[in-house]
Structure 1
């Protein structure tokens, strides 16, 4: 049974045009070649039942490390600040569960549309939601729309940006990967008819991106057969709008969670990503401070780790935003060792977020003392305080360790 909801961190939370002719494949007039359009949205079809996975729960709602798979995908898209709207097409019976996921994990910029009976019908419904005038102004028509799978959680900003820019120039674009296996065609009697040269073909992956008017026009012209049995959006743009998609090599991370064993692979990748990110939190913006120097030293020593630095002297609500990246390892640098309320405030923010509900959060508290000026009793008080605090926050799944560093000695050796 799931733990009850806690208060969530705030997440960072607009689109034009008239229909071109069916053959239009060029960006809107005035768009710079190689530039990203101002208005970008995304559509995620999430109406599948997970038949190939062989489980009752639709695969997009299967839990990986305690969290629904689709939540990871939404998180990956929400990290990209220039994606203004995300429309998830979900079946009517799963609509309430999707709303609960959005609320529980603090997702923003996400709207829901009702999924259709097939993948193409779900995408079409998502596009309709973006095309229609919204009375409350929540959704606006984009220039470029990204289509992505709800069960491909490892998409990064680089490939999203590349397909969007290419779609802005060519009308359509999609990620591809080399074929792993040779494709063969069997005859009616179950014998080999012919095989394809693997080097001459590619696997179509997601994400894909389109000028909105191109893909929306293509879906409006679609036959019932296409909507029922088709799978390839790029083919629809070619067939109905004569728009040849630009194909871009994608990374191995773009694979789709399809079978039950894929959930274990996804779990392993998520754990690896978690272990390779450290957020250094300092209570000063001074680039000459020991906190900044420590961050730079860590960056040099741990070259495989993604290190970010976030000053803690921000207004309370803004301070929570760095938790958006779902980092689970923190180094909190307390330049003024006696200023314990900063540490307690930081730990309170973590405890009130969704992070410790899912996995242990590791925090290393670094306090600087000038041992030539600080009496032994104060050193011992600092050690006892850190120990007692570690015992307290461990109840909330936060693992705290402490370091006391001789500030004067460090300053001499840096």
Structure 2
């Protein structure tokens, strides 16, 4: 994890269309479709004082990518969301513009925020109706979702429920159970009283509103509201008499607030990326056996594994399939020439799979008893390092594994267990310092 630097890019991923029927949720909100566009406003003008960093937390980098880009992508990948407005402080406009461009956030536009959260949100809403923003050519949405730029793990299910409830009731918001009991202190800092935790909930994001309702509420806001207010749901209740439908949200709605939250967020991202792997083998019997044995072992670790067997001359046919599955881990098993592996890397890089997240590519070499020992092929380790160095610039992390293949079942099983453990660790850690290394298992 590091602060802002050079940024790659990534096209949008497909997602389920909003206009579909879903199953009723536990709280009675049905995922019905509705007519009218949906937009998102992301206030991102905070300075991150509680984190104690010189760079605002929304621009801190996780896996070489700014946190705010993860949040934007969570919305852009959903087809029924038509536009995302990021509201930033004036001094960060150029940085935000570079992020939008380099990560190919095609649905996203920016505007300058105000000195407080409510002023920034009002500016973001005004983009759709104020004459001074007309060059944006944005359609006024029927429903607008307001979310925090530093809550990157929002999923389509909760967004669908919140947006649908807002369409039906005028306003809706996510809530979570309180983790700690709320207490009140007296003037001498002694306990005065406590609240019964089971009767209260924490207000979270996302929140959604009929656009005309929330915009009307902001037009009626007082200076006190703009200066000290924080709760959008309270504004529509006070000024539009609109009661918000409250929906229980998932645990992943937590907000990156403190420095340790950055490490937790990065760990969750790595965990998610490591869950799927495509194992590609050549047609040799040993490679096929290793591939299917590895699949069984990785599946015991609750991983989704697919094995594809093909000659390397046809390997390009595998890549679009892997891309459609959003698998950011590929294991290639077989003693083919490095040139053929280079062609696979080229196909991966050109498929746009690596423009958002770093891709892990593990090259597994098989050492057979009757073959020339791999250790005597002095050019191979240096060639792997050269290959990995070039691939690293394309956001592909290349690692090498050397597996001793033997007919002794006990020794072979030990090698397979080591290969499984090391492969999983490489996919989980995504340690760029180890790229180009040949690990013997």
> Structure 1 length as normaliser, TM-score?
0.72
Residue number in structure 1 paired with 2:270: 271
User: In the alignment, is the contact (CA less than 8 A) between 2:3 and 2:55 conserved in 1?
Assistant: no
Are 1:170 and 2:169 matched, yes or no?
Answer: yes
Residue number in structure 1 paired with 2:387: 393
The offset of 1:212, in angstroms, is 1.1
After superposition, the Cα gap between the structure-2 partners of 1:242 and 1:389, relative to the gap in structure 1 and judged at 3 Å, is farther
**Superposition CA RMSD, Å:** 4.4
Are 1:10 and 2:22 matched, yes or no?
Answer: no
Residue number in structure 1 paired with 2:411: none
After superposition, the Cα gap between the structure-2 partners of 1:320 and 1:219, relative to the gap in structure 1 and judged at 3 Å, is farther
1:233-273 CA distances to partner (integer Å, 9 max, x unpaired)? 11111111111111111111111111122112212212211
Are 1:65 and 2:66 matched, yes or no?
Answer: no
1:87-141 CA distances to partner (integer Å, 9 max, x unpaired)? 0000111101111122222222110011111111111111111234664564211
Residue number in structure 1 paired with 2:347: 346
After superposition, the Cα gap between the structure-2 partners of 1:98 and 1:41, relative to the gap in structure 1 and judged at 3 Å, is same
User: In the alignment, is the contact (CA less than 8 A) between 2:10 and 2:356 conserved in 1?
Assistant: no
Are 1:35 and 2:35 matched, yes or no?
Answer: no
SS in 2 for 1:215: helix
SS in 2 for 1:354: coil
**Rounded Cα–Cα distance in structure 2 between residues aligned with 1:303 and 1:219:** 50
Please give the residue correspondences for 1:200-211 in structure 2 after superposition, counting only pairs within 5 Å. 200-211=199-210
Are 1:95 and 2:96 matched, yes or no?
Answer: no
Question: 53, 56, 59: which one pairs with 2:54?
Answer: 56
Residue number in structure 2 paired with 1:18: none
User: In the alignment, is the contact (CA less than 8 A) between 1:45 and 1:122 conserved in 2?
Assistant: yes
The offset of 1:299, in angstroms, is 12
**Rounded Cα–Cα distance in structure 2 between residues aligned with 1:125 and 1:217:** 13
Please give the residue correspondences for 1:114-153 in structure 2 after superposition, counting only pairs within 5 Å. 114-132=112-130, 135-136=134-135, 138-153=137-152
SS in 2 for 1:130: coil
User: In the alignment, is the contact (CA less than 8 A) between 1:36 and 1:168 conserved in 2?
Assistant: no
The offset of 1:329, in angstroms, is 1.1
User: In the alignment, is the contact (CA less than 8 A) between 1:48 and 1:58 conserved in 2?
Assistant: yes
**Rounded Cα–Cα distance in structure 2 between residues aligned with 1:193 and 1:385:** 75
1:134-153 CA distances to partner (integer Å, 9 max, x unpaired)? 64564211111111101111
> Structure 2 length as normaliser, TM-score?
0.68
**Rounded Cα–Cα distance in structure 1 between residues aligned with 2:197 and 2:152:** 27
| Structure 1, gaps ≥5 residues long | 14-31, 283-289, 368-375, 405-414
State how many pairs are aligned. Answer: 363
SS in 2 for 1:86: strand
**Rounded Cα–Cα distance in structure 2 between residues aligned with 1:352 and 1:385:** 30
Decide which moves more: 104-113 or 343-352. Answer: 343-352
**Rounded Cα–Cα distance in structure 2 between residues aligned with 1:348 and 1:182:** 50
| Structure 2, gaps ≥5 residues long | 15-28, 282-287, 309-314, 404-441
User: In the alignment, is the contact (CA less than 8 A) between 1:12 and 1:321 conserved in 2?
Assistant: no
Residue number in structure 2 paired with 1:24: none
User: In the alignment, is the contact (CA less than 8 A) between 2:85 and 2:110 conserved in 1?
Assistant: yes
